[in-house]
Structures are given as C-alpha cells and as structure tokens.
Structure 1
Amino acid sequence: MNPVSSTGWPAPRIPRLSWICWVPNRLRNHLSSSLVQEVNIMKTLHFGAGNIGRGFIGKLLADASHQVTFADVNDTLIDQLNHRQEYKVHVVGADQKLDVVRNVAAVSSAGHEVIARIITADLVTTAVGPNILDKIASTLAKGLQARFDAGNLTPLNVIACENMVRGTSHLKQEVLKYLPVAYHATLETCIGFVDSAVDRIVPPAAAANDDPLEVTVESFSEWIVDQTQFKGELPKVAGMEPTDNLMAFVERKLFTLNTGHIVTAYLGKLRGYRTVREAIEDPVIRSKVRRAMEESGAVLVKRYGFDPRLHAAYIEKILSRFANPYLVDEIDRVGRQPLRKLAAGDRLVKPLLGTLEYGLPNEQLQEGIAAALHYRNADDPQAVELQALLAELGPAKALARVTGLDEESEVVRAIVARYETL
C-alpha cells in the first residue's frame, strides 16, 4: 500500500524514469534510446482548458512537443479532450491555416489526479482568468507539498498567463498561504514562479460551430517571460520570449492592446455596435482609439525609452488586429467586468496615472473612462453593480470609489464632465 503523505493524498510511486535526469552523464550512454526519449519529453500541466488555454498556451506547448495535460472544472470538456486527445485550431489573418493539436489529455482540477500530475510535472502554466487564479492556489499548494513529500526536488517552473500585472508573483503569495511553513524554504529553492506578458485575441467559438473543442485564434501571438525568475533551465518553446525587463513589455501590452481594446468596446457600445470590428471600422471611434493609445504610449516612451516610431507602428498593428474580418470579437466579451477594468492598476486608470505623473495629455483616456461608466450589461454582475453605484453615489463619488482617484481632483471633474455629455 502506498504511504499517505502529509497532504492527506496517497503518496504516489514515482516512476524510475522521473529520476533518469539524476543519472551521471557518463552512464546515459548505457540507457536505451527509447528511455532517454521518454525522459526528454516535457510534461506540462496547464490549468484552464478554455479557448485561450487550448488556442494559445496549450497550442504553443504542444507544438514544442510537450506532453500537455489540461486541468479544468468542466467535466464535459475533460471527457471530450480525453476521448479525442486532439483538437483543431483555426489560425486566421492574412494567411489562414488549420492546425491539429494532438496527444493532449485532461484531468479535473478538483480531483486527486491533478495532484499526481503536479508531482511529476516539468512545467505548470495557467490561463484561467485573474478572478480564478486565487482559486487554484490551494490545489497547487497541495500538489507541491505532495511533490516534496515524494522526494521530487527537481526544478519546476509555474507561469500564470493572465491579463494581469505580475500575475504569477500574485499566485505565489496565494500558494504560500496554503503551503505549510515547513515547506516554504524548499519552494524557494526548487519552484520558479515566472511572471509573463501574453497577447493573442481568442474570441469565443461561433455558436454555429458543432465542434466544442475547435478554437479560432488570430495569427499574432506574444508570450514574454521573466527569465530572471526561472529555476533550472529555461524551457525551449517557440513563441515564448525570455526577457530581463518584463515590466516594459507588460505595460506595453496593457497600455496599448488592452487600453485600445477596452476603449473600442466602450465607445462601440455607446454607438450600438456588437463587435470590435464593427466599432473600429467607424472612423470616429478609430481616431479616438488611436489617440488613446498614443496618450498611453507617450507614458511608455517616457518610462521605458521605447522608440516612438516603432511604438507608433505597434499601435497601427493593433488597430489592424481589431479590424480582422475573420475574428468575431463581441463588445460584451471585451467590456465585461468594468469594475476590474476601472481599477487603479488596470488598462484605463494606470495609463491615466502615468500621464499625470509625467504631465502628458490624457483627454482621450478620460473619455474612455467616461464611456466605461456608461457600460450596461444585464448579464454582467459587475456592470449591474457599477450602475447601482452611480445611481446611489453619483458619478464623482462612484468614480473615486472604483478607481481610487481623488474625488476632488481636476481629472475626476474632467471625466465626470465628459460622462455627462456622452
């Protein structure tokens, strides 16, 4: 009978293959080539089998010959992935292609099997959304504790691929809350929590599509990781770019793609458009969105020394991505959760604060925030809550509460004036 670890989970028997990496190099020649080949296959556990998980991170890892196992709460999705062990990805843009991602598996993120996967994993990634990230911390802590109890002290890196600044560092702090203090030193030695910046538009599948696993993605993708936070060797994944200056790229993406996306959505909603493409094809909206990204871009140039000409080209690239005719990106998908998106550290207020810090223009960012206050969506609890706050407190007090801006400040007065005229 297997012993029970201190986590309460049965301590698994670790296959001998898991320890071949500890065999001295001079002895490796005596191993069969098949064993060495199996050892060299990276085992990745990816939390989140949704469209972004399958169409972006999971695809890049599978393309790099990783053995990818998805962990999710959707039992139907898990069963479908395990039955077929593959799914289709439509890559759309100037050049279109259909890729098939093969040799994948899935486990429940709420069951015992996910713990066993953490014990033997070579890499853990996530694409669950910022609101769910905290919820997987306890599972990850249990898995790491079981990993240490099983004697596996080989380096393991965890990369949260979320739309949030330093999301993996946040996840680490949540994991430490659940992991007994006796294991903290081992975690610091063996486990790398690697922050990243991710960028790829992956809209929901079309309702007419009868393949529940099929996903459509744009051809552009960017996955930048903080190379200073890895333990052991950096994994070799085409499309994953290491950097020692991650925050420059995190804010470039947040201040440009995310800012432009959300301003397009909120202005488009006011004009009655359904999709991002419809909104960005409106020349008035396109001009306003470009100007908002130019205002936030001026902060990036000042703060990180980005080349203004190259950044202007980056802005135009993003505008063309919003207009991709092959992506049906609904405004309510982009605009949902306005309370989170109006927070001080997110895509509207953070660049605004940068303009205030450097004394730069911010009129179009102000209008984007004012448009956010008008966002209505009966199916989105945060949108309902925002409108309730506005009705209860009035625009100035509600804006101050949601954003952290000073209610008496000049910029709040300016945003409220724009809100009242939109």
Structure 2
Amino acid sequence: MKAVHFGAGNIGRGFIGKVLHDNGYEITFADVNDEIIDALNREHKYTVHIAEENGAAYKISGVKGVHTAQDTEQLAEAIAETDIITTAVGVNILPIIAKTIAPHLEQRGGGKPLNIIACENAVLATDTLKAAIASEIGTHAFSNIGFPNSAVDRIVPIQKNENILDVKVESFYEWVIEADSWAGDDKLDGVNYVPDLMPYIERKLFTVNTGHAAIAYYGKTLGYRSVSEAMKDDEVVVFLRNVLKETTLYLTHNYDFTEVEQSEYIDKIIGRFENPYLSDDLDRVGRGVLRKLGPNDRIIKPLVYLHENGHDHDALSELVVHALKFDNQDDPEQMEMNQIVSEKGVSHFLSTHSGLEKGLLEEIKAKI
C-alpha cells in the first residue's frame, strides 16, 4: 500500500507518517523544503522519539520525498499509484495544495479507492481541501474517492535534532476520522472512526486548545516564559481547571460526553501540559490572538453559550481579559489587535471581531 503525504514537517513525519508506516504504507512526502526532501531521498528512513524520560524510539522506513513544485512527474506518478493522500501543511495552505493535487486526480481514473484527508488543526479541513480541488477540476474525477474530515491531536515540542529527519513527539495522540465518508474497506489501525466528528473536534478545541490558551495568556501575565514554568505554579493550574470546568458545561450539554468522561479527559490533558519534555514558549502558544478570540474559536464560543444559558463563565471572561493584555511583539495578529483597541477601544474590538453583545461586554470590561 502507498501513501502521499503533503507536509514533511514534524507533525507530518512524527504523527501522520508514523501511523501510516505502522499500517504498512510506503510513504512519499511532498514538500518544498529542499533540505528535508534531499535527506528523505538519501536516507529513506528516520526515527520518531517519544518525549519522555527514557522514551521509546521507533524506526520509520520505506519513505522518500518529492519536491512539490519541482518534481511534478514524480508527484504525478505517486498520486496515480497511491491509496491515501494526507496533509499537514496548515489550513491556509490547503488551496495551494489543491492546485497541485487536482490535475493528477483527473489522470488517475476511477479504479481503486482513494481517501484524501486534511489532518489540520482546523474544523472540517478536508471539506476546505475538497472544495478547493473541485474549484480546479470540478467533481467528475471524484469517483471512488473519499474525503473524510478528521480531528488530530498530538503535541510536538520545539526541538533541534542532530539528524534533520528525526522528530520528537509526545506518547499521546488522537486521530479521529469520519467513518461514513471513507472510501473502501481498508481502514487504518490506531485511528478512531466515528459517525459524527464534531463532538471530538469541539472536545479537543475546548479542552486542549482552550487549556493551552489559558496557560499562555495567564502565565504570561505572571511573568512566565514557558508552559513548563507556568504549570509549576498552583495559581495557573487552578485557573486552568476553572476554565476547563466551564468548557465542560458546554461539552456535556451539547454532546453525549459525561462529566466523569470529561473529567478523566481533562486530567489526561493536564498531565500532557505538565510534561517538561513537551514544554513550549508561551509567546508561540499564544500567537494568533485574533483567531483565538474569534466568535467560533476556543474562548468566545463556549463563553457566549454559557452566558446566554445562565451558566458560570467567570473564568472564561477572565481569560478574554488576559488575552487582551497578552503582549507578543512578533505576532502580526497581536499588533493588529493592539492597534484596533488603541484606536477604537476594547468594546469595539470585542463586539465587531468577537461578536460579543452588551451584557457580556460590560462583564469583561469590569475585569480589565
């Protein structure tokens, strides 16, 4: 069996690539990084290290690389023969990747099943990729092709390894795929197929991502620089748990997760945050503040739901305040937010950008 994976970065090699390898796939990594592609074609193997004391090491073999822009013939051949196409490039890059994939699908024909999956940190990213491909060639080439959405979760710490291909990842991972959109009968082991993906997308978003935001924005106000430093402070951990207690209300009210299940999930997530081998810089964790204060993202969506339904939301309101005060001069979104707030005020920003109404605005302004 063969796979083509777009994005030969740490997530691509350390997470998606490892799962595909463990399922017996020969993997062609497609990327524009000359150094990575050259190393893949020279070594044809790399090692995935688990980020913990005495962590295991896994050899990944049977891999090669193609330069997405330069090796067009090799890429066309790989796509013609592949059983699965995956991506880990960032949701904003998917329309570009679609232009690369689309013409080769027309040449592929409607033979064996093919699944195309965008493994991005975004909601329903495969739908985005599918729409972009359809805009290039229409849908006539989609016969026997599945476009299942997926949710992915694995922390990859900042790292510098002696071997450019080796990658360090946490032991925990979760890859959830829409079962009904999968083409063919050959499914992946180590992956959770579900009829409805949204509960898992929002559980991860409002636990892992909201939790990371809470650590970054509150930890930075206390003068910490990394997740590991912040998580040693009981005050940060208490605030984190208060935030996740509130998002638990959203999740258990909207989906079938029980409070016990969500409590166990939170304990597991906090254990991941406390892992010193996974520590990340708070500026990096907190960057992209405009997106993170968007109306459907990790802070505002559960906050608005709890406010509108009369539930406790004090910690999430406080998290908005800490996000507004976050100061990362290297983040373009931070600079844009700061300019809007400086020129037009907090209320204008939160009403126009985050979609907050007067009552909630007044609550938040009272905390500033």
TM range (shorter): over 0.9
CA distance in 1, matches of 2:219, 2:27: 38
Match of 1:401 in 2: 352
Q: For residue 95 of structure 1, report the CA deviation from its aligned partner.
A: 6.2
CA distance in 1, matches of 2:5, 2:366: 46
2:184 is equivalent to residue 232 of structure 1: yes
CA distance in 1, matches of 2:354, 2:261: 31
SS at match of 2:21: helix
1:90-129 Cα distance to aligned partner (Å, 9 max, x none): 1123762112211111112223132332222100111112
CA distance in 2, matches of 1:119, 1:197: 26
Match of 1:115 in 2: 76
2:123 is equivalent to residue 165 of structure 1: yes
Given that 1:51 and 1:203 are in contact with CA atoms closer than 8 Å, whether structure 2 keeps it comes out as no
2:7 is equivalent to residue 61 of structure 1: no
Quick one: which of 358, 362, 366 aligns to 1:413?
A: 362
Quick one: which of 250, 254, 257 aligns to 2:205?
A: 254
Match of 1:193 in 2: 147
Q: Which has the larger radius of gyration?
A: 1
Letter of the structure 2 residue corresponding to residue 170 of structure 1: T
Given that 1:276 and 1:331 are in contact with CA atoms closer than 8 Å, whether structure 2 keeps it comes out as yes
State the TM-score, normalized to the length of structure 1: 0.83
Letter of the structure 1 residue corresponding to residue 81 of structure 2: T
Q: For residue 268 of structure 1, report the CA deviation from its aligned partner.
A: 1.3
Q: For residue 357 of structure 1, report the CA deviation from its aligned partner.
A: 4.7
Letter of the structure 2 residue corresponding to residue 417 of structure 1: A
Please say which of residues 379-388 and 318-327 is displaced more in the overlay. Answer: 379-388
State the TM-score, normalized to the length of structure 2: 0.94
Equivalent residues in 2 for 1:2-401 (5 A)? 42-93=1-52, 96-111=55-70, 112=72, 113-147=74-108, 151-179=109-137, 181=138, 184-187=139-142, 189-206=143-160, 209-237=161-189, 239-401=190-352
Sort the Cα spacing of 1:140 and 1:353 in 2 relative to 1 into closer, same or farther, 3 A.
farther
Sort the Cα spacing of 1:173 and 1:359 in 2 relative to 1 into closer, same or farther, 3 A.
farther
CA distance in 1, matches of 2:75, 2:338: 40
Given that 1:90 and 1:96 are in contact with CA atoms closer than 8 Å, whether structure 2 keeps it comes out as yes
Sort the Cα spacing of 1:95 and 1:356 in 2 relative to 1 into closer, same or farther, 3 A.
farther
SS at match of 1:359: coil
Sort the Cα spacing of 1:253 and 1:234 in 2 relative to 1 into closer, same or farther, 3 A.
farther
1:6-57 Cα distance to aligned partner (Å, 9 max, x none): xxxxxxxxxxxxxxxxxxxxxxxxxxxxxxxxxxxx2111111111111111
Q: For residue 200 of structure 1, report the CA deviation from its aligned partner.
A: 0.8
Q: For residue 374 of structure 1, report the CA deviation from its aligned partner.
A: 1.8
Given that 2:31 and 2:67 are in contact with CA atoms closer than 8 Å, whether structure 1 keeps it comes out as yes
CA distance in 2, matches of 1:101, 1:161: 19
CA distance in 1, matches of 2:33, 2:326: 30
Aligned residues: 366
SS at match of 1:326: helix
CA distance in 1, matches of 2:186, 2:319: 39
Letter of the structure 2 residue corresponding to residue 213 of structure 1: L
Sort the Cα spacing of 1:234 and 1:258 in 2 relative to 1 into closer, same or farther, 3 A.
farther
Letter of the structure 2 residue corresponding to residue 198 of structure 1: V
Letter of the structure 2 residue corresponding to residue 231 of structure 1: A
SS at match of 2:340: helix
Q: For residue 86 of structure 1, report the CA deviation from its aligned partner.
A: 1.3
- Which runs of 5 or more residues in structure 1 are unaligned? 1-41
Q: For residue 303 of structure 1, report the CA deviation from its aligned partner.
A: 0.9
CA distance in 2, matches of 1:110, 1:356: 49
Q: For residue 233 of structure 1, report the CA deviation from its aligned partner.
A: 1.7
Q: For residue 417 of structure 1, report the CA deviation from its aligned partner.
A: 2.8
Q: CA RMSD in A?
A: 1.7
Given that 1:299 and 1:358 are in contact with CA atoms closer than 8 Å, whether structure 2 keeps it comes out as no
Q: For residue 375 of structure 1, report the CA deviation from its aligned partner.
A: 2.1
Given that 2:106 and 2:141 are in contact with CA atoms closer than 8 Å, whether structure 1 keeps it comes out as no
CA distance in 2, matches of 1:244, 1:236: 16
